[in-house]
């Protein structure tokens, strides 16, 4: 891995608040991921020590929830919804168009770490199906051509 030394100072700073709270492992991990974009091993070790929770248990939690990532993520996150409403309205075609365009499968990140493409179940905007969430923006009424266009224009 070309991952060099990680600046762990902000992590220690953040953990001060959660150390004393009961059952705060999940919010602590969420905050940690907010800092680094994903959860490298070193980060998990620090969380384990500071929160006084065994690393094995931390690992158990991280692998259980789909929103924790153990691999580096792209600069942009594109989440195509394939919830029921979107599915019925043709999300599958958008997924394959995006996969073809980016050259990666759902759940993968482009080799240049620009875009991570994911398929998720329901973003709760079913009235606009099919929808995708690109970074923090929900985009509705998609068609494959529009998705490709949006991915093209990501900067």
Partner 1 sequence: MSEALRRANVLVCGGTGCEASGSHDTFQRLTEEVERRGLTNEVQLIHTGCRGFCAMGPIVIIYPEGIFYCQVQGEDIPLLVEETLVKGHIVERLTYKEPAAHQAVPFYSQIPFYEKQKRIILRNCGMIDPENLEEYIARDGYQALGKVLSTMTPRDVYGEVKASKLRGRGGAGFLTGLKWEFTARAQAEPKYVVCNADEGDPGAFMDRSVIEGDPHSLLEGMIICGYAIGAREGYVYCRAEYPLAIKRLEIAMAQAEEYGLLGDNILGTDFSFHLHVKEGAGAFVCGEETALLASIEGRRGEPRPRPPFPAVVGLWGKPTNLNNVKSYASVPQIILNGAKWFASIGSPESPGTAIFALTGKVNNTGLVEVPMGIMLGEIIFDIGGGIPNGKPFKAVQTGGPLGGCIPVQHLNVPVDFDSLKEVGAVMGSGGMIVVDEDTCMVEFAKFFLTFATAESCGKCVPCRMGGKRMLEVLTRITEGRGRLQDLVTLRELAAGMEEASLCALGQLTPGPVKSALQYFEDEFIAHIVDKRCPAGACTSLVRARCINACPADVDVPSYVALVAQGRYAEALEIHRRTNPFPLVCGRVCPAFCEDRCRRADIDEAIAIRDAKRFMADHELERPWTPPRYGEAKDQKVAVVGSGPAGLTAALRLAQQGYPVTVFEQLPAPGGMMAFGIPDYRLPRDILNADIEAITRAGVEIRCNQALGRDFSLDSLSEDGYSAVVLAIGAHKSSKLRIEGEEKEGVLPGVDFLREVALDNPPDLTGKRVGVVGGGNVAIDAVRTAWRLGASQVHVIYRRLREDMPAYEEEIKAAEEEGAIFHFLTNPTRVLGDGHVTGVECLVHEPGDFDRSGRRRPVPVPGSEFTLDLDVLIPAIGQSPDVEWLAGDPAIALQRNNTFEVSGALCTSREGVFAAGDAVLGPATVVEAVAQGNEVARAVDHYLRTGTTEKTVMMPGYEVVEQPFDLDEYADARRPHRPELPVGERRGNFREVELGLDEETAREECKRCLRCDLEWLETMQLAFEPVPARQASKVFSASRRDNQ
Partner 2 sequence: MPKLKSIEDLKAVREQAQRDLKVRTETGTRIIVGMGTCGIAAGARETMHAILEELDRQGIEANVTTVGCIGMCSKEPLVDIEQAGRPRITYCNVDPSMVPRLIEEHLRQGNVVYEWTMGRVPSEGIGQSS
Residues found near partner 2 in the complex (CB under 8 A): 124-128, 131, 137-140
Question: Scanning the structure block, which residue is given the tokens 């993968």?
Answer: 108
Q: Is the peptide bond before 130 cis (omega within 30 degrees of 0)?
A: yes
Which entry of partner 2, partner 1, none binds 139, CB below 5 to 8 A by partner kind? partner 2
Token couple for 147: 């998705």
Give min distance, CB of 114 to partner 1, in A. Answer: 23
Is the previous residue joined to 90 through a cis bond, with omega within 30 degrees of 0?
A: no
Three-class DSSP category at 108: strand
Per-position x/- string for 93-132, each x denoting binding to partner 1 as judged by CB under 8 A, each - no binding: ---------------------------xxxxxxxxxx---
49 binds partner 1 (CB under 8 A): no
What, of partner 2, partner 1, none, does residue 85 touch, CB below 5 to 8 Å by kind?
partner 1
Taking CA atoms, 9 is separated from 64, 103, 104, 125, 129, in Å, by 27, 36, 34, 38, 42
Q: Which does 46 bind (CB under 5 to 8 A by kind): partner 1, partner 2, none?
A: none
């Amino acid at each position: 891995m070309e991952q060099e030394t990680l600046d762990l100072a902000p992590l220690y700073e953040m953990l001060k608040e959660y150390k004393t709270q009961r059952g705060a492992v999940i919010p602590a991990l969420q905050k940690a991921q907010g800092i680094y974009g994903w959860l490298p091993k070193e980060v998990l070790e620090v969380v384990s020590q500071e929160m006084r929770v065994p690393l094995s248990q931390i690992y158990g939690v991280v692998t259980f929830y789909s929103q924790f990532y153990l691999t580096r993520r792209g600069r942009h996150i594109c989440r195509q919804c394939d919830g029921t409403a979107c599915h019925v309205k043709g999300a599958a075609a958008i997924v394959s168009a995006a996969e073809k365009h980016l050259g990666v499968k759902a759940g993968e990140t482009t080799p240049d770490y620009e875009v991570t493409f994911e398929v998720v179940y329901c973003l709760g905007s079913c009235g606009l199906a099919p929808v995708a969430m690109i970074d923090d923006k929900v985009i509705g009424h998609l068609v494959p051509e529009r998705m490709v266009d949006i991915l093209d224009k990501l900067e």
